[in-house]
Amino acid sequence: MRFDIITVLPELLESPFNHSILKRAKDRNLLEVYCHPLRDFATGKHRHVDDYQFGGGAGMVMKVEPLAACIEHLCSERQYDQIVYVTPDGAQLNQQMCNRLSMGENVMIICGHYKGIDERIRNQFVTMEISIGDYVLSGGELAAAVIVDAVGRLIPGVLNDETSALFDSFQDDLLAPPVYTRPAEWRGMKVPDVLLSGNDRLIEEWRHEQSLERTRLRRPDLYLKYVKGQGE
């Protein structure tokens, strides 16, 4: 899978993809991530990528021409499954969206800055608008990094244990159960006996109950969705 990220701050994205699981994915040629500095597509002496907004008001807007030039250049080289714009007014990212994105081959991500990008770019090119939560970041780069991480780890072969992503929180609308490792007793606090029992069926049952209870308490919205889904 390949990500092409359009950004005015490629330096911000140098580190996140070069460690741990994503680095391994890149080393195994399962994942490619390319950052495209938007300024390279700007023209004129000052290579401006932003300008004042029509109608007045504080804050700059990212210009159409450099963005269009970069997007069209990338689209001339390959077909994209999605052209994503990361923006606080997009649809909130969830596991289902990540699963769907991970089935694609090429995904482009446009990072906004300042007041955002000219609306005509959204209308003309963007196929998916994603927010990573109800707060405003100073730019889209960290949101893009979140998407590449959450999607990249779902590509088959990226995780060591192929099945482990299936048991992540949210994969079945439930939060994951608590986990423990050695020592079995620490400062008087013991690991639940069932996890030491060696009885796979009982362990599975316990984990499921814990997932249900944790979801009911912490995310009643998800719990309701789960319960409704079970009834269908």
Contacts with ligand ADE by CB under 6 A lie at 86-88, 112, 131-133, 135-137, 140, 143
Q: Look up residue 113 and give its DSSP letter.
A: B
Least distance from ligand ADE to the Cβ atom of residue 97, Å:
13
Rounded to the nearest 5°, which phi and psi values hold at 3? -115, 135
Question: d(Cα 37, Cα 33) in Å, to the nearest integer?
Answer: 13
Quick one: 66 or 140, whose CB is closer to ligand ADE? 140
- Rounded to 5 degrees, φ, ψ at 198 are 80, 0
Q: Is the dihedral of CA 193, 198, 202, 207 positive or negative?
A: positive
Q: How far is the CB of 232 from ligand ADE (least distance, A)?
A: 32
Please give the C-alpha separations between residue 181 and each of 90, 174, 178, in angstroms, as whole numbers. 39, 22, 11
Q: From the CB of 10, what's the least distance to ligand ADE, in Å?
A: 16
When the beta carbons of 37 and 139 are compared against ligand ADE, the nearer one is: 139
Least distance in angstroms from the C-beta of 130 to ligand ADE:
6
CA 218 – CA 91 distance, rounded (Å): 22
8 A C-beta contact, residue 53 and residue 61: yes
